[in-house]
Structures are given as structure tokens and as C-alpha cells.
């Protein structure tokens, strides 16, 4: 493979290979075997694993109580373009060593933002040219791009929901830059996570105008991208809170409603993030199912929260039970529509070795692989499907089937109820379902 840039950042770390569950090599996959077929597709195809540029290459571990702890060897150069190229080299070295096919970015993860939009756009163009060469020299592709319209202080009152049109226009310029970059790199999708689209106090907020403006803005972005020949999907990434108290894209159901309300249902799907689901007091599985029911299960931001902490801790996935239940939804709904599994997760502030980044991603990939195997075993080697079908069997024949076909009226329900006696008690058997999953873990 041709390599552009001659430095090796992750010295001593080899290409990560599948060694099976008895391996004691921390730098090997125990369950993720890319070419292994599960339910008709390889694991590589099921997952389309992606690295998140922001956490993996930009996140140095700063928190409200102290600065970053991690000194990245690719983040040293004072020239922003050279620093961006070094970061891209590190990204592609990491991806190639991991055997991951995809990455995801915000515009200003790629290169530091300049003093003004015009200069920033020039910088993004330069680094996009460089990334294009790196993509051509490898098998790596872009899963999705997005714009960071939340970090710059100008977005403190929101981006597309900003009370000031001037700021909204800046967000538009930035989304155009990020869309151009995504399209130039053959990006398969484009993400909108709300950022600061929401509010802290209703007293100073015209909620209806703000939400309608987001709808107008998303329509403009869609129209622009389609005009440029973009064929991929747009994803909304729901999150209930943080940074604002009330985020407008609270959860999957709320986001689907906005997508339909603003006429975006032919172009937009959802990117479901585990920790956002749990912040909304839902399970990850619930959010996936809601998206799948609407035909909008586009992509996943993989991470996990913490049972004791109420914020977006973005830890790497390691909960096989939670992920196995999620993989049941995925397999039963036919998989992700266009997206993949993006590790929107960060190593802890005190995980400061460069190898920790590999170990974390290996653990995440293994969690999904193991969960997929569990879900597949449950569907193909257990009575799970049969039990579930039995629970709803009354809609398969007779009056139940007529109801499903839309052939009954309320009077028919009444007549049926009166002539067929009291319903017998039918157990939900939740514990039995739970035991079946456990048996295959
Ligand atoms: C923040 C979001 C963000 C999006 C991309 O909570 O997860 O990282 O995925 O803007
Ligand atoms: Ni995310
Ligand atoms: Ni998040």
C-alpha cells in the first residue's frame, strides 16, 4: 500500500488481527472477524466500523476541572496546514492498522478554524485535497461529514435556531463548506447533530420560529447538496439535552416528527447514539426500534453512558447484553440504511498511552461482534421467534386478520367481544425471553 507522509505515529503497534476469544494479546480482536459471515453478510458489511476524528485525534482529555492530559505527536506543528496533514497521517495509520474502512469528521476536526470564514474554507479545501490522496492510496472511505456549528462562541445562542439571522447565515456558510468537503471525499452520508439547537429558558425563546427556521435551513442544505450531485442520506442525530437544557431533536420520535413536518422524509434518516438514548430515559434498543419502524434506521454512534452519571460520558461500548438486544433490532429490521457503526467514544482522561486508543476501539468492535453473534444465535437456534409469533398469533387468522386488513368497524369489535366471552389470561413471559438471550451470551 502506498503511504503518503513518512512518519509512524503508533510505533510498535502492528496491524490488529483476529486471534479468537482465547488470545491473551490485548492488541488482537477476540470476536471481530471481518470476513466471517453472519446472517448472510460479513461482519465488515454489517458494521462498517468508523473512527470519529474528533475524539480519537483531537480529544486530549480536557474537562471542566482541568486541561487535556494527552500529548499527541501529530498535534505539535505550529503551521495549521502541516498540523492537519500530520493528523490525517495519524488517522490513516490508525484506520489501516485497525482494519476499519471508514471515518467521520466535523469540518474543523480536520484543520483548525481560521480567524474568518473565507480563510477557514481555504484551509478545509487544502486538507480535503490531501485526504483525497490518502483515500485513493488506501481502502478507507468517508462514512459521513458534518459541520461543527456549536463550539465557536458565535453559536452560543444556536446556529440554525439563532435569534440573529446573521449567525444563521454563518451556520449556512459552514454547512456549505462541510457539504462540499463531504461530497469531494465521496462521503456516503451527511449528519446534522443539533449542537446548540435548543434553549435554556422559554422566557427569551420563540420556540416556533426557531424550529421552523431549522426546518427551512435543512431544506436549503438538502437542496444544495442534491444540486451538487450528492446521492447519500442525511441523518439527524437526536439528543435530549447537553449543551442546552431542551434540545429540539430530543429523541428518535421527536426527530422523526420534525423530519415529516418539514417535508424531509425522502432524504433524512436517523443516526442513533447509545448515550443520547439513555440520556433521554430510553434504551438504545428502543431508539433503534423507533427509527426502524419509520424506515429511518440510518446509522449508529456507538458508545455507552454510565448508570450513575447523568451526562454524555461517551465511553467505549462494552455491554454485550445491551448491544446484543440492539443487534436483534438490527438483524430483524434488515440492518442500517446507508450508515455504519461510528465509535463516537473517547478513552478516559487518564488513559494516556497511545495504545489505549487501539485497545478501546478493539473492545468496541469486539462488543458489537460478540453481540451480533448472540443475536444471530437467538434468532436462528432458539424458540425466540416462535414465542414472539405465538404472542401475536391472534392477528394471523379470523377476525384478528380482518382487523389488520382494515375490514372491521368498531361495531364489529363490539359484536366479537360480546359473543366470544372474556379473554383468557396470557402471560407476557418476559423472564423466559430474558433467559433465552442469557443462554446465548
Ligand atoms: C455530541 C454528538 C456529536 C455528533 C457529531 O454529543 O454525539 O459528537 O455525533 O456532531
Ligand atoms: Ni454522536
Ligand atoms: Ni454524543
Q: How many CB atoms lie within 10 A of CB 177?
A: 21
Question: Nearest C-alpha to atom 3 of ligand 1 is from which residue?
Answer: 193
Backbone angles phi, psi at 145, to 5 degrees: -115, 165
Spatial neighbors of 253 by CB under 8 A, at least 6 apart, are 290
Name the residue of 344, 345, 346 to mutate for ligand 1: max ligand atoms within 8 A of Cβ: 344
Backbone conformation region of residue 67, classed left if phi is above 0, alpha if psi is from -120 to 50, else beta: beta
Tell whether ligand 1 has an atom less than 6 A from the beta carbon of residue 312. Answer: yes
How far, in whole angstroms, is CA 86 from its chain's centroid? 26
Q: What is the pLDDT of residue 1?
A: 42
Distance, CA 100 to ligand 3 centroid (Å)?
21
Tell whether ligand 1 has an atom less than 6 A from the beta carbon of residue 267. Answer: no
Cell of 257: 416528527
Backbone angles phi, psi at 225, to 5 degrees: -65, -40
Tell whether ligand 1 has an atom less than 6 A from the beta carbon of residue 193. Answer: yes
Tell whether ligand 1 has an atom less than 6 A from the beta carbon of residue 120. Answer: no
**What span, in angstroms and rounded, lies between the C-alpha atoms of 322 and 300?**
14
Q: What is the pLDDT of residue 5?
A: 56
Cell of 397: 387468522
Q: Which of 86, 89, 107, 109 is catalytic?
A: 109
- The overall pTM is greater than 0.85: yes
Question: Among residues 40, 46, 8, which one has the least CA distance to residue 323?
Answer: 46
Give the helix/strand (H/E) hosting 140. Answer: none
Cell of 391: 404472542
Q: What is the pLDDT of residue 2?
A: 41
Query: pLDDT tens, position by position, for the chain (441 residues)?
Result: 444 456 899 999 999 999 999 999 999 999 999 999 999 999 999 999 999 999 999 999 999 999 999 999 999 999 999 999 999 999 999 999 999 999 999 999 999 999 999 999 999 999 999 999 999 999 999 999 999 999 999 999 999 999 999 999 999 999 999 999 999 999 999 999 999 999 999 999 999 999 999 999 999 999 999 999 999 999 999 999 999 999 999 999 999 999 999 999 999 999 999 999 999 999 999 999 999 999 999 999 999 999 898 888 999 999 999 999 999 999 999 999 999 999 999 999 999 999 999 999 999 999 999 999 999 999 999 999 999 999 999 999 999 999 999 999 999 999 999 999 999 999 999 999 999 999 999
Backbone angles phi, psi at 107, to 5 degrees: -45, -50
**What span, in angstroms and rounded, lies between the C-alpha atoms of 182 and 43?**
25
* Cα Rg of the chain, angstroms: 24
Q: Are strands 246-247 and 198-199 parallel, antiparallel or unpaired?
A: antiparallel
Q: Which of 55, 106, 170, 276 is catalytic?
A: 106
Q: What is the pLDDT of residue 165?
A: 99
Catalytic, 246? Answer no
Distance, CA 286 to ligand 1 centroid (Å)?
19
Give the helix/strand (H/E) hosting 102. Answer: strand 102-106
Q: How many CB atoms lie within 10 A of CB 20?
A: 10
Q: What is the number of the ligand 1 atom nearest to the C-alpha of 55?
A: 8
Q: How many residues does this entry show for the chain?
A: 441
On whether the CB atoms of residues 159 and 149 are closer than 8 A, the answer is yes
Catalytic, 125? Answer no
| Residue given cell 440510518 in the structure block | 298
Q: What is the pLDDT of residue 159?
A: 98
Question: Nearest C-alpha to atom 8 of ligand 1 is from which residue?
Answer: 344
Tell whether ligand 1 has an atom less than 6 A from the beta carbon of residue 237. Answer: yes
* Least distant ligand from the CA of 243: 1
Tell whether ligand 1 has an atom less than 6 A from the beta carbon of residue 89. Answer: no
Amino acid at each position: 500500500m502506498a503511504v503518503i507522509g513518512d512518519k509512524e505515529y503508533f510505533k510498535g503497534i502492528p496491524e490488529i488481527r483476529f486471534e479468537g476469544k482465547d488470545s491473551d494479546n490485548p492488541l488482537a480482536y477476540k470476536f471481530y472477524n471481518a470476513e466471517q459471515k453472519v446472517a448472510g453478510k460479513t461482519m465488515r458489511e454489517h458494521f462498517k466500523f468508523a473512527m470519529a476524528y474528533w475524539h480519537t485525534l483531537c480529544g486530549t482529555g480536557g474537562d471542566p476541572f482541568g486541561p487535556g492530559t494527552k500529548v499527541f505527536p501529530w498535534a505539535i506543528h505550529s503551521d495549521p496546514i502541516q498540523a492537519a496533514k500530520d493528523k490525517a497521517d495519524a488517522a490513516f495509520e490508525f484506520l489501516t492498522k485497525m482494519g476499519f474502512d471508514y471515518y467521520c469528521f466535523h469540518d474543523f476536526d480536520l484543520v483548525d478554524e481560521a480567524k474568518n470564514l473565507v480563510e477557514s474554507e481555504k484551509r478545509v479545501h487544502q486538507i480535503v485535497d490531501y485526504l483525497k490522496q490518502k483515500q485513493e492510496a488506501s481502502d478507507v472511505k468517508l462514512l459521513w461529514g458534518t459541520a461543527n456549528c456549536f463550539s465557536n462562541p458565535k453559536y452560543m445562542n444556536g446556529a440554525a435556531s439563532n435569534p440573529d439571522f446573521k449567525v444563521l447565515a454563518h451556520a449556512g456558510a459552514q454547512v456549505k463548506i462541510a457539504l462540499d468537503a463531504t461530497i469531494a471525499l465521496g462521503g456516503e452520508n451527511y449528519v446534522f447533530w443539533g449542537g446548540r439547537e435548543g434553549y435554556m429558558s422559554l422566557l427569551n425563546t420563540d420556540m416556533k420560529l426557531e424550529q421552523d427556521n431549522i426546518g427551512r435551513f435543512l431544506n436549503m442544505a438538502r437542496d444544495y447538496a442534491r444540486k451538487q450531485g450528492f446521492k447519500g442520506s442525511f441523518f439527524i442525530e437526536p439528543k435530549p439535552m447537553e449543551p442546552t437544557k431542551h434540545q429540539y431533536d430530543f429523541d428518535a420520535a421527536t426527530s422523526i416528527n420534525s423530519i415529516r413536518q418539514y417535508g424531509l422524509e425522502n432524504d433524512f434518516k436517523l443516526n442513533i447514539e447509545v448515550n443520547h438514548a439513555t440520556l433521554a430515559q430510553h434504551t438504545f434498543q428502543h431508539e433503534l426500534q423507533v427509527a426502524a419502524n419509520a424506515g429511518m434506521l440510518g446509522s449508529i454512534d456507538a458508545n455507552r453512558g454510565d448508570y450513575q452519571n447523568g451526562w454524555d460520558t461517551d465511553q467505549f461500548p462494552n455491554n454485550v447484553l445491551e448491544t446484543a438486544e440492539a443487534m436483534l433490532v438490527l438483524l430483524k429490521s434488515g440492518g442500517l440504511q446507508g450508515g455504519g457503526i461510528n465509535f463516537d467514544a473517547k478513552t478516559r482522561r487518564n488513559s494516556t498511552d497511545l495504545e489505549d486508543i487501539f485497545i478501546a476501539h478493539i473492545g468496541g468492535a469486539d462488543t458489537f461482534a460478540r453481540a451480533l453473534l448472540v443475536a444471530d444465535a437467538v434468532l436462528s437456534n432458539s424458540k425466540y421467534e416462535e414465542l414472539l409469533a405465538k404472542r401475536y398469533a391472534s392477528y394471523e387468522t379470523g377476525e384478528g386478520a380482518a382487523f389488520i386488513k382494515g375490514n372491521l368497524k368498531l361495531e364489529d369489535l363490539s359484536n366479537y367481544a360480546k359473543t366470544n366471552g372474556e379473554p383468557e389470561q396470557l402471560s407476557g413471559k418476559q423472564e423466559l425471553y430474558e433467559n433465552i438471550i442469557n443462554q446465548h451470551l
